[in-house]
């Protein structure tokens, strides 16, 4: 008998509520995906303000839930289980979602699962492309995370192969956008500007690509600084700043390293399927270069549509469905959010 899984996401600045149907054959069908974003409230600060995000979640949780059930044509009584992001993320923001999930689970008398936000970014791909081949390689790229992950079982076995040692790729985009006078968040405006620029105009560095560097780790702090110094130098010389060329050259440096390390990891692990997920997965040049390099290496590339790449409740509902299907233990009602939850802990 098919089961309805509700997913709640509140790790950062999006309040997401998703509903999926878990079929008897293990496939997962998306029924609703409603998101309320507080990004405009953070834009004037140039980044997410935790207290502002927490208050926005409080205000948006019930209306977003109501919209999700209206979209799916379901009532709360139809829910068979609830999954909620337990971490990683902002402590206050996570607590809003966890508290709401506990209240709903108690009122409905249904099982509750605290799940990993990062694993959710991988699981969401199954809503578009079907079951994940195992093992697969996941390149997770967002404002807060840049990681290479080996996925042997989306419900229970994820191993980190490498991660960023400083700035995440999305964080570097935000900081470079600020240097170039582009709006926050920086990913979309830099991607747009780059399409009119020359990616070979400026030779920005490729971080952690030397022979002694960790093969699968990333570093974007030096690249961010290099862009800032180049812009400052041009300004001192009284030269105009070629925003499009700077954006294109910066973006090429980021996606070059991301895709090269991902391909290397897949080859060394003997993996033939790669999933790119997280907010930066919507970047046009990342998808283009990854597609070219995966095709040349004989690797199948899967990238969810942009709406599923950013934080949303559908990804948590999808992961919850896989956890339910795998008969993983439910979370105790006294579990707490964990802002530093490691990626290998898929569910609590």
- Our CA angle for 162, 12, 5, nearest 5°, is 90
Rg (CA), the chain: 20
- 143 annotated as belonging to a binding site for a ligand: yes
191 among annotated binding-site residues: yes
283 labelled as ligand-binding? yes
* pLDDT score of 46: 78
Does the pLDDT value for residue 121 go beyond 80? yes
Q: What number is the average pLDDT over the span 260-274?
A: 98
Domains of the chain: 3-124+312-325 (3.30.420.40), 136-305 (3.30.420.40)
By percentage, how much of the chain surpasses pLDDT 90? 94
* pLDDT in the model for residue 39: 78
1/310: higher pLDDT: 310
Tokens for 300, please give them: 């199948």
Q: Can you give the pLDDT at residue 167?
A: 93
pTM of the predicted protein model? 0.95
In this predicted model, what pLDDT tens digit does every residue of 159-214 receive, in sequence order? 999 999 999 999 999 999 999 999 999 999 999 999 999 999 999 999 999 999 99
334 annotated as a binding-site residue? no
pLDDT at 40: 80
Beta-strand pair 112-116/146-153: unpaired
140 annotated among ligand-binding-site residues: yes
Do the annotations mark residue 144 as ligand-binding?
yes
Please, which pLDDT band fits residue 50 given cuts at 50, 70 and 90?
Answer: confident
Say whether 311 counts as a known binding-site residue: yes
Place of tokens 């840049």: 146
pLDDT tens readout for residues 1-47:
789 999 999 999 999 999 999 999 999 999 999 999 887 887 777 77
312 is in an annotated binding site: no
Check the annotation: does 187 bind a ligand. Answer: yes
Instruction: Judge whether 262 and 139 are in contact, CB under 8 Å.
Output: yes
3-state secondary structure of 273: strand
């Amino acid at each position: 008998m098919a089961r309805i899984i509700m997913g709640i996401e509140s790790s950062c600045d999006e309040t997401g509520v998703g509903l999926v149907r878990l079929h008897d054959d293990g496939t997962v069908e998306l029924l609703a995906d409603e998101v309320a974003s507080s990004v405009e409230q953070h834009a004037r600060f140039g980044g997410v303000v935790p207290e502002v995000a927490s208050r926005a979640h409080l205000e948006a949780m019930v209306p977003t839930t109501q919209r999700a059930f209206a979209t799916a044509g379901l009532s709360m009584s139809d829910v068979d289980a609830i999954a909620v992001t337990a971490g990683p993320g902002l402590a206050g923001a996570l607590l809003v979602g966890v508290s709401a999930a506990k209240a709903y689970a108690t009122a409905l008398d249904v099982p509750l699962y605290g799940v990993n936000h990062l694993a959710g970014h991988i699981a969401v791909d199954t809503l578009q492309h079907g079951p994940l081949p195992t093992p697969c390689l996941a390149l997770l790229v967002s404002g807060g995370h840049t990681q290479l992950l080996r996925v042997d079982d989306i419900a229970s076995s994820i191993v980190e192969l490498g991660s960023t040692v400083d700035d995440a790729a999305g964080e570097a985009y935000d900081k470079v956008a600020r240097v170039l006078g582009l709006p926050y968040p920086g990913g979309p405006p830099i991607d747009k500007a780059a399409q009119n620029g020359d990616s070979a105009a400026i030779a920005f560095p490729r971080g952690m690509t030397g022979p002694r560097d960790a093969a699968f780790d990333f570093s974007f702090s030096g690249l961010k600084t290099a862009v800032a110094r180049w812009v400052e130098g041009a300004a001192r010389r009284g030269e105009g700043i070629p925003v499009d060329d700077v954006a294109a050259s910066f973006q090429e440096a980021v996606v070059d390293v991301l895709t090269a390390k991902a391909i290397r990891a897949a080859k060394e692990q003997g993996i033939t399927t790669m999933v790119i997920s997280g907010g930066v997965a919507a970047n046009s040049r990342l998808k283009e270069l990854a597609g070219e390099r995966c095709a040349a290496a004989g690797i199948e590339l899967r990238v969810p549509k942009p709406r599923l790449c950013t934080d949303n409740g559908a990804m948590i509902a999808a992961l919850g469905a896989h956890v339910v299907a795998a008969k993983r233990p439910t979370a105790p009602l006294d579990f707490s959010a964990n802002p530093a939850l490691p990626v290998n802990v898929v569910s609590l």
